[in-house]
Amino acid sequence: SDKFNYRNPNFKDYIKSIDWLIDKGYQVVKCGVGKSKVSYKKNGFYDLTSYEKNYNELLHIYLCTISKFHIIGSCGHLYLSWAFNKSTILTHDYEVPESHLVETFSVPSKYFHKGMNRYLKYSEFPIFLNRQIPIENPITIEHPTPEEIFISVKYLCDKKFNLKSFSIEDKELYSELTKKYKYLSDQPLLPFCFSWAKKYKNLIS
């Protein structure tokens, strides 16, 4: 429902990323349980979504094992990604993202506090948020944009497969943000695309 809108990914928000991946020679497979197929059509895209009664768990797991990386919404699939050591783009994360030793780049939802006229910092989540109840005034939730998702997908591909390096300044900022995040969450890695972390660095405190 709109009230419990922590995890409401819209497939349209992924299309820019899918188009780019296919143009780069990737094949993109959408799988899992769903009520309907998407209308998007393009050579290189396969929609294996099915009703729960027709859902093939073994096929899903097999696809997880052979894929180069995963792009997922905030759901239990993340544990499959970690189990098979697959780099992952995690969108619509609504809590403090975890950063285990498997490469995970979160493109999280953000919470805007109207009274303070700013986004909530991660350190403020325990004070203002309770995922067991609906988001209500003065707080609203903002989901990631198609551009933010795309930048993170491109970042993963460039960083992991093309080994592009950061500038000296960006390396220093990355190190600083990683230390701040470890202090905040006791997580060893910075679980964000660097451009996202750079843009929203004030949230990591």
The pLDDT tens digits of the residues spanning 90-116 come to: 998 888 887 677 888 899 999 999 999
The residue behind tokens 């390096």 is 165
pTM of the model: 0.86
- Taking each helix axis as running N to C, give the angle between helix 15-23 and helix 146-161, from 0 to 180 degrees, rounded to the nearest 10: 30
The pLDDT tens digits of the residues spanning 25-68 come to: 999 999 888 777 889 999 999 999 888 888 888 999 999 999 99
Cβ contact 153:20 at 8 Å: yes
* Mean pLDDT within 162-188: 83
Amino acid at 183: Y
Amino acid at 2: D
Cβ contact 21:28 at 8 Å: yes
d(CA 67, CA 1): 32
d(CA 87, CA 102): 6
d(CA 156, CA 72): 14
Query: Tokens for 190?
Result: 């910075």
The pLDDT tens digits of the residues spanning 62-72 come to: 999 999 999 99
Task: Kindly state the percentage of the chain with pLDDT values over 70.
Answer: 92
d(CA 34, CA 46): 14
Q: Which residues does 61 contact at the CB level (< 8 Å), separation at least 6?
A: 80
Cβ contact 135:5 at 8 Å: yes
